[in-house]
Amino acid sequence: MPKLRGGLAAVAFVCLVANAHGQSADPMAVGRQMLAEDNPGELWVERGKMLFYQKRGPKNTSLETCDFGLGPGKLEGAYAQLPRYFADTDKVQDVESRLVTCMVNLQGFTYQQAIKDHFGTLDRMSDIEGLVAFIASRSNGMTMNVPLIHQKEYDTYKAGEYIFYRRNGPTDFACITCHGDDNKRIRLQDLPNMTDRKQIQAVAASWPAYLGTKSTVLTMQNRLYECIWQMRLPDLGYLSDMSVALTSYLNRQGNGAVIQAPGVKR
Amino acid sequence: MAEPMKIRATLQGDVADVRILMLHPMETGQRKDAKGDIVPLHFIQNVVVTHNGKVVLDAQWSQAISRNPFLGLRVKGAKAGDKIGVTWTDNKGDKRTDEAAVAAAAS
Distance from CA of A130 to the nearest CA of B (A): 13
Please list every residue in chain A whose beta carbon sits closer than 8 Å to the beta carbon of residue B31: 122
pLDDT in tens, A84-107: 999 999 999 999 999 999 999 989
Using CB atoms, which residue from B23, B28, B70 is nearest to A38?
B70
Q: Which class does domain B6-101 fall in?
A: mainly beta
Chain A within 8 Å of B29 (Cβ-Cβ)? no
Q: What is the pTM of this model?
A: 0.80
Question: In this predicted structure, what is the pLDDT of residue A25?
Answer: 59
A38–B64: do the CB atoms touch at under 8 Å?
no
Question: In this predicted structure, what is the pLDDT of residue B107?
Answer: 54
pLDDT band at A19 (very low <50, low <70, confident <90, very high): very low
Among A102, A175, A178, A227, the active-site one is A227
Whether residue A115 sits in one domain with residue A93: yes
Whether residue A98 sits in one domain with residue A20: no
Whether residue A107 sits in one domain with residue A224: yes
Whether residue A161 sits in one domain with residue A179: yes
A43–B6: do the CB atoms touch at under 8 Å?
yes
ipTM entry: 0.72
Whether residue A58 sits in one domain with residue A29: no
Whether residue A27 sits in one domain with residue A71: no
Average pLDDT score over residue span A117-138:
87
Whether residue A32 sits in one domain with residue A83: no
| B44-51 β-sheet, strand order | B54-60, B44-51, B83-90, B95-101
The percentage of chain A sitting over the pLDDT mark of 70, rounded to a whole number, equals 87
What are the residue ranges spanned by the domains of chain B?
6-101
Nearest to A199 by CA among A191, A211, A208, A188: A191
Whether residue A26 sits in one domain with residue A77: no
Nearest to A51 by CA among A64, A41, A42: A64
Question: With 80 as the cut, is the pLDDT of residue A214 above it?
Answer: yes
Question: With 70 as the cut, is the pLDDT of residue A9 above it?
Answer: no
Whether residue A63 sits in one domain with residue A3: no
Please list every residue in chain B whose beta carbon sits closer than 8 Å to the beta carbon of residue A2: 28, 30, 64
Question: In this predicted structure, what is the pLDDT of residue B106?
Answer: 67
Q: To probe the interface with B, which of A122, A129, A137, A211 has the most B CB atoms within 10 Å? A: A122
Mean pLDDT of chain A: 84
Q: A227 catalytic, yes or no?
A: yes
Residues 102-121 of A with CB under 8 A from B: none
Question: With 90 as the cut, is the pLDDT of residue B3 above it?
Answer: no
Q: Which domain holds residue A168?
A: 39-265
Whether residue A109 sits in one domain with residue A23: no
pLDDT in tens, B43-76: 999 999 999 999 999 999 998 998 888 899 999 9
Tally of domains in chain A: 2
Whether residue A186 sits in one domain with residue A132: yes
B67–A3: do the CB atoms touch at under 8 Å?
yes
Question: With 70 as the cut, is the pLDDT of residue A7 above it?
Answer: no
Whether residue A211 sits in one domain with residue A124: yes
